[in-house]
């Protein structure tokens, strides 16, 4: 089971597309580590995922504002909610490493849904403008 990048996610904005490939790859690695029972790896990758998202979201939210993307507030709130939830889960995993499997699932599911729903809509909007990047 893995998330795949596909053309429907292509915005033509190089930094954005590269970040999305990176996010998907991290989410797949977290899930694989969780399934293999490598709890320390899950925690390490989850922290990496969280900081990757911090940087990516700043860029993406600025981009959405700059292009006047109508759904930017709901898109942003999917980012904010995930970071808040993940922060709580990471705190929990620090005191109970057994919870890392739940965390791996959370990251994987969020990424799959965020890509399929929010990023796909954003890519459609950018492509419809005809000047992606």
**Lookup result for tokens 């399929």:** 116
Nearer to Fe ion, 60 or 86 (CB): 60
Nearer to Fe ion, 28 or 60 (CB): 60
Which residue number has the CB closest to Fe ion?
60
Size of the site for Fe ion (CB under 5 A): 1
Closest C-alpha among 133, 118, 130, 129 to residue 20: 118
What does the buried/exposed string (b/e) look like for 95-126 if buried means 16 or more CB atoms within 10 Å of the residue's CB?
eeeebbbebbebbbebbbebbeebbeebbebb
Q: Is 60 in the site for Fe ion (CB under 5 A)?
A: yes
Q: In the complex, what is the shortest distance from the CB of residue 19 to Fe ion, in angstroms, rounded to a whole number?
A: 6
**Site for Fe ion, residues 89 to 128, rule: CB under 5 A:** none
CA angle 56, 110, 40 (to 5 degrees): 85
Closest C-alpha among 55, 68, 46 to residue 16: 55
Nearer to Fe ion, 31 or 60 (CB): 60
Q: In the complex, what is the shortest distance from the CB of residue 16 to Fe ion, in angstroms, rounded to a whole number?
A: 7
Cα–Cα distance, 70 to 77 (Å, whole number): 13
Nearer to Fe ion, 60 or 69 (CB): 60
Q: In the complex, what is the shortest distance from the CB of residue 75 to Fe ion, in angstroms, rounded to a whole number?
A: 6
Contacts with Fe ion by CB under 5 A lie at 60
């Amino acid at each position: 089971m893995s998330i795949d990048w596909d053309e429907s996610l292509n915005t033509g904005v190089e930094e954005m597309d590269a970040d999305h490939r990176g996010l998907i790859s991290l989410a797949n690695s977290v899930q694989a580590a969780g399934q293999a029972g490598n709890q320390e790896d899950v925690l390490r990758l989850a922290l990496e995922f969280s900081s990757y998202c911090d940087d990516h979201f700043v860029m993406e939210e600025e981009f959405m504002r700059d292009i006047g993307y109508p759904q930017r507030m709901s898109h942003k709130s999917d980012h904010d909610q995930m970071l808040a939830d993940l922060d709580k889960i990471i705190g929990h995993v620090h005191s109970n490493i057994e919870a890392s499997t739940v965390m791996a699932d959370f990251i994987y599911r969020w990424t799959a849904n965020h890509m399929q729903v929010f990023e796909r809509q954003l890519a459609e909007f950018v492509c419809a403008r005809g000047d992606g990047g």
